[in-house]
Every structure is written in C-alpha cells, then in structure tokens.
Amino acid sequence: MTDAVLETTDVTVLLVDDNPQNLKVLYETLKDKGYRLLIANDGEKALDLAHRHQPEVILLDIMMPELDGYQVCERLKADPVTSDSAVVFLSALDDLQAKVRGFSLGGADYISKPFQAQEVIARVKTHARVIRLERELQARNRQLENDQARILNSISEGIYGLDASGVIVFANPAAAVTMGSSAEELIGQNFFDLHFRTAGQGCESLPVYATCSQGIAENQRDIEMLRADGTAFPVEYRSTPKLDGEELHGAVVVFRDITAELESERALENARNMVQEQREQIAHFSRLTTMGEMAAGVAHEVNQPLTAITNYARVARRVLAKEEPDHQLLEETLEKIEAQSHRASEVIRRIRRFMKKPAAGKDVLSISALLEDTRKFAEVDIRNNEGGVEISVADDVPEVLADPVQVQQVALNLIRNALESTRSAGSSAPVEVAVTMSGGRCVRVTVTDHGVGLPDDAEEKLFLPFYTTKEEGMGIGLPTCRSLIQAQGGDIGFERPEHDGACFYFTLPVAGSDGTPCAPDADSPGPVA
C-alpha cells in the first residue's frame, strides 16, 4: 500500500503500520470522523508524510522492519516541524517496559493490539483537540512576542532587562545604538561593570543596583554612564523591579542619552542670563535717561519764565534810570515780573504734581482766554517781531478740559519758536494762531509762521528727545510739549504748509466728551489728522 491523502479536514491523522490489514482497519475506524487521513506502511514514508503535512496525531505501530516505531518517534520529536505531533503507539507489546520506553521517547499515548475501535476514536479525538489547542496557543504566543518585539524595537529610549545580579538579558535596538554596540554583544555582560567606572569598588551605591537587589524603583537624571568604547555620557533613566508574584527577578531599565538636552538647557540658561543682564542694563539706562529728561525738562520749563523775569527786570532798571521814571510803565513791568515769578512757581508745582498723577489738575478752560494770556507772556519776544502774533478763534469752539499751565506752556513754546523762526527769516508776516474744531470732540490749535521752515528729513525726528534744528537748542522743548499734550488726552504734530515756514498744531478734548477722543487711533487717522 502506498501513502496517500485520503481526506481533507482541519485535523490530520497519520496512520503508520507495516500490516495492510491493520491499516485498513484503522482507516475504516476513522474515515467517517471528519479527519484528514494519511497512510504510511513504513517508517521512512511516515517521516516524510509527517514532515510535509505536520499531522496533529500519529498512530504509530512499533513493530516495523528497518525503522521501528521507537526510532520513528525519536526522529519525529527531533524534527522541529513534527515535534509537537501527538504520537500514539499501537503495539501488541503490552508489557510495562515497552510502554515506558515509548513515553520516554516522547510518545503521548499507548494503545494495545488488538485495539477497540471506540478506544481509538476517543483517544485520537482527545489528542487532536489537545494538539490543536496547543498549536493555537503557540501561534498566539508567537503573535504576542512579535507585537512585543515591534513595540520594543520602535521605542526610541534604550531598554535593558537585567537579572537579579545585573546581567543584561535583553537589550532593544535603541539601547544598542546608544551604547555603540550590538544587542548581541550587550546581552550577557554585567550592567554595572560595563557602564560605571566605579563598579570595581562595589555596586551598592550604583544606579539600578537597589532595583535589582531590593526591588526599589528608581528615577534619576544626569547620571554618567559609559558606552562600550569607554566614553561617558549623561543619561536619564527609570528602573522598575521585575517581579514574578512576590519573587524578584531583576530589573527593567529604560534610559536615554540627554547630552543634547543638557546642552540646550545650558544654552537656554545662558540666554536667560544674558537677557536678564540686558534687561538690567536697559532698566539702568532707562532710569538714567528718564532722570536726564526730567532734569532737562524741568530746567527748560522754568527757564522760560526766568528769562522773562530777567528781561522785565532790565526794563524796570531802564525806567528807573530815567530822570522822570514812567511809574505807570514801571508798575506794569513789576506786575509782569510778579506774574512770571508766579508762573515759574506754578510750573514747578504742576510738574511735581504731574509726576505723581499725570492726569490730575484739569480744568474747564476757555482756549481763547488762555491764548490771550499766553500772548502776554510772549510780549518780550513779540516786540522783536514786526508782525507780532494774530489769534483767531472760530465761533463754534467750546471750552476744553485741560491743565491751564501745561497747555499754556505748550502754546507759549510753539509761539516763541514761531516768532524766532520768523525773525530768523527776516519776515514781517505775523505768527498766526488759529483755533478750530476737529471732529466733534476736539479743539485744534494751529501755530503757523513764515519763517525758515524745517529740513525735509526733520518731520519724523521733531518730537524725539535731544533732536533740534537750532544751533543752541537742547531738543527738549517739543518732546516736553508732546508729553504735556498727551497727558491732557490730546495730540500734537507738524504739518508742512504750502508757503515757507512751519505749522505746528495740538488738540485738546472738548469739556464733557468721554474718553481720550483726541489721542492717536491705531486703526484710523483720528480726528486731528
């Protein structure tokens, strides 16, 4: 009889016997049970069929020529492909020694001849089920191992598995890359001896040792370890005990090279220190600048009334030097000296209050009356200009809300600059001061002269501190004017007129209007543009 595949099912059973009659009986016994049956009449054919078809159950006769059942079983168990097949011996040898030998060679069961059909059917069914379950379990375990290997291989951190004495029993690819060695070369080496300089002096104080020996989890950073070539590098690691129930079997170490991370942290810290140092320098410079601006501003504001006082005092001396002094003129001059003195005092007082509360001290003002008073303060300068100062106020201009001294200081500064520019140009045209409405919530004061004008590139610098177009100027007047007007909720600017000269303007909020209607608006040109 030749070997043949007689039936195709999920479970394969190989029937091996050199006696055709026995094979026929076995076949008849199992043919209707749903198995895929294979038949072999000698040992070599049985081995060949088993290797090719991997049957779940092999019914194997012991007494066969050339290769007996024991030899076939031994070779089946030695072949990884067929080692898990359940070998059930069939033999007329019913002594205990024969059975023990069969089991010692890997046999799963023993059926004595002559066998009972029901017994064969029951045992084949049992062994087939067991083998199928074992194979499914093995396949599932292989799947889990493959999944675990893929996960470990995909992790960027190095992973070591250590036994209780610190011997490396597992290393993932990332660990091999970090350590500069292959995983095969790492496995089997002692973790402490391989990675720490002081391992020869005792391992008790080394990282991970407590985890391996006592089951104490660790988590440390910036620990120095050695690569396979002896070079050191900083690592961050976590070690957790490897437990089987309550029994400690070593540790799992997850680590990563933090060389680049530490360099970035040091660079960031250096950058922070540099920024902090620059901030302190800027703050120091800012304080010095502010103090300088304040000192220059105070000097500038006070200097104007003091200059006027000096000029009026000279006038008074000239009046007194005459044989018949003009008492009326002398009295008016002294009154002006008193007014300028009061003004100097008021400037200082308002500046002090301004430094404390910039928005305080506002009153409802008649801009027309304020400008007339300002013209009086500029009387000395006006005398040197043929055209003088002409003030025009539109009929619809209402009162404004502002600090009178500060606004007057701004107006006086602009008028004096205009008079000086006009005089420098040799012009007899008057300085024109016009007051109009700007939008519905602002009053606009414009000071226009026919003087020498300003350079083309001066407009963007006019209100910067210490920028000046005058030979002896300090560049403080216009920046101070801007600060004063902005403190009132207004704006100040320059327009280049069509004729020669210059035109400065400032705006003030109308009394009773809400918010800061005249301040520059980032989204629109604003009412004063």
DSSP E strands in 245-386: the ranges are 247-257, 363-365
Higher pLDDT, 482 or 86: 86
Is 472's pLDDT higher than 90?
Answer: no
**Which is more confidently placed, 200 or 524?**
200
Predicted confidence at residue 4, as pLDDT, reads: 42
Q: Among residues 124, 199, 123, 127, which one has the least CA distance to residue 165?
A: 199
Q: Which helix (H) or strand (E) holds 187?
A: none
For 16, residues 6+ apart whose C-beta sits below 8 A from its C-beta are 40, 41, 42, 43, 46, 58, 59, 60, 61, 64, 69, 72
Please check the confidence at residue 9 and state whether its pLDDT lies above 70: no
Cα–Cα separations (whole angstroms), residue 489 to 149, 351, 510: 72, 17, 10
What proportion of the chain, given as a percentage, has pLDDT over 70?
A: 87
CA distance linking residue 238 with residue 235, whole number of Å = 10
Q: Is the pLDDT of residue 448 over 80?
A: yes
For residue 256, the number of C-alpha atoms closer than 13 Å in the C-beta half-sphere is: 7
Any idea what DSSP says for residue 426?
A: T
3-state SS class at 140: helix
| pLDDT digits 0-9 by tens, 183-207 | 999 999 999 999 999 888 888 889 9
Measure CA of the first residue to CA of the last residue in the chain; give whole Å.
Answer: 115
pLDDT, position 8: 40
Decide if pLDDT at 528 tops 60.
no
Task: Give me the pLDDT at residue 526, please.
Answer: 37
- Does the pLDDT of residue 240 top 70, yes or no? yes
- Calpha distance 407→197 (Å, rounded): 79
524 or 418, which is more confident? 418
Q: Which comes out higher in pLDDT, residue 233 or 306?
A: 233
How many degrees, rounded to 5, is the angle at CA 69 between CA 76 and CA 137?
Answer: 35
For the segment 386-402, what is each residue's pLDDT rounded down to a tens digit?
Answer: 888 999 999 889 999 88
What is the SS3 assignment for 439? coil
